[in-house]
């Protein structure tokens, strides 16, 4: 479970991998949501190459940060499990 704050994004993985979504989103208050599918992103990149490149870079940075964060959580969890076996 995670909280998405104002200005944050979600669902980036599905832009690149259109498999079933791995999350469900429930808003706790009024929210304005902007939706863009792969075709929307492709059209934007073709129409505005520089801005499109910046958009793709931004999406990749978000995805990489989330992967690193999850890797750290897994590593911390595994370290705790391993240490627990010795104590």
Query: Which tens digits make up the pLDDT trace of 71-86?
Result: 888 888 776 666 566 5
Res 80: pLDDT? 67
| Average pLDDT across the chain, whole number | 84
Res 44: pLDDT? 96
Average pLDDT over every residue of 13-28: 82
Give the DSSP H or E segment for 81: helix 49-86
CA angle 47, 11, 56 (to 5 degrees): 35
Q: Which residue has the higher pLDDT, 16 or 60?
A: 60
State the Cα–Cα distance between residues 69 and 67, nearest whole angstrom. 5
Query: Tokens 């890797």 sit at which residue?
Result: 71
Q: Is the pLDDT of residue 22 over 80?
A: no
pLDDT band at 35 (very low <50, low <70, confident <90, very high): confident
Res 18: pLDDT? 78
State the Cα–Cα distance between residues 2 and 11, nearest whole angstrom. 13
């Amino acid at each position: 479970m995670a909280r998405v704050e104002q200005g944050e994004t979600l669902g980036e993985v599905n832009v690149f991998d259109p498999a079933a979504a791995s999350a469900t989103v429930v808003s706790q208050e009024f929210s304005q949501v902007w939706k863009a599918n792969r075709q929307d992103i492709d059209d934007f990149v073709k129409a505005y190459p520089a801005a499109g490149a910046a958009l793709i870079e931004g999406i990749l940075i978000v995805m990489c940060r989330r992967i690193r964060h999850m890797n750290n959580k897994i590593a911390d969890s595994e370290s705790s499990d391993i240490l627990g076996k010795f104590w």
